[in-house]
């Protein structure tokens, strides 16, 4: 009897542990990805100019490769900038980088799905060194 009870208890425990998960963020297939006029190289060159002109990079311990993850909305504006890994004064760093990004002209061309502009996420790798930065 103990064996049957133990077997039932284990089977109910295993059954409860087998749940299906759904992807909260389904992958969107774009017919055309978001683009900056001239490509990522042109965007990073403009970004470089804005950072040099407006941001005091001596405030931050930013050395190495950073992932800039941001959304491009349906109007071609950059929103929701995230920078990984985090640095000293990370919130201020992100605010300053967003300030530099907002000064870049022209805007991005938004991603398209079935001919309609849609919000998309873009990732760029930027390498910072103590006195300048470059990109990969």
CA-based end-to-end distance of the chain: 66
Mean pLDDT of the region 70-86: 93
Q: What are phi and psi of 3, to 5 degrees?
A: -65, -40
Hey, how many other C-beta atoms are within 10 angstroms of the C-beta on 130?
10
For 86, half-sphere exposure in the C-beta direction (CA atoms, 13 angstrom radius) is: 5
**How far is Cα 44 from Cα 50, in angstroms, rounded to an integer?**
10
Residue 3 has pLDDT above 70, yes or no: no
Q: Which DSSP string do the residues of 83-100 spell out, in sequence order? A: EES--TTHHHHHHHHHHH
- What pTM was estimated for this model as a whole? 0.70
Bridge-based pairing of strands 116-118 and 111-113 is antiparallel
Six-digit token string for 40 = 């990522």
> What is the pLDDT confidence band of residue 123, given thresholds at 50, 70 and 90?
very high
Q: Map out the domains of the chain as residue ranges.
A: 29-135
pLDDT attached to residue 117? 96
The per-residue pLDDT for range 95-106, each reduced to its tens digit, is 999 999 999 999
Percent of residues, the chain, with pLDDT higher than 90 = 46
């Amino acid at each position: 009897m103990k064996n049957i009870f133990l077997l039932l208890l284990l089977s109910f425990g295993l059954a409860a542990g087998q749940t299906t998960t759904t992807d909260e963020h389904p992958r969107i297939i774009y017919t055309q990805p978001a683009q900056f006029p001239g490509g990522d190289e042109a965007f990073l060159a403009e970004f470089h100019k804005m950072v040099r002109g407006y941001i005091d990079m001596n405030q931050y311990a930013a050395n190495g490769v950073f992932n800039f993850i941001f959304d491009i909305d349906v109007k071609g504006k950059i929103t929701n900038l995230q920078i990984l890994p985090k640095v000293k004064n990370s919130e201020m760093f992100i605010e300053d980088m967003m300030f530099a990004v907002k000064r870049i002209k022209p805007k991005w061309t938004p991603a398209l799905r079935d001919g309609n502009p849609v919000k998309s996420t873009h990732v760029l790798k930027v390498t910072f060194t103590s006195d300048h930065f470059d990109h990969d």
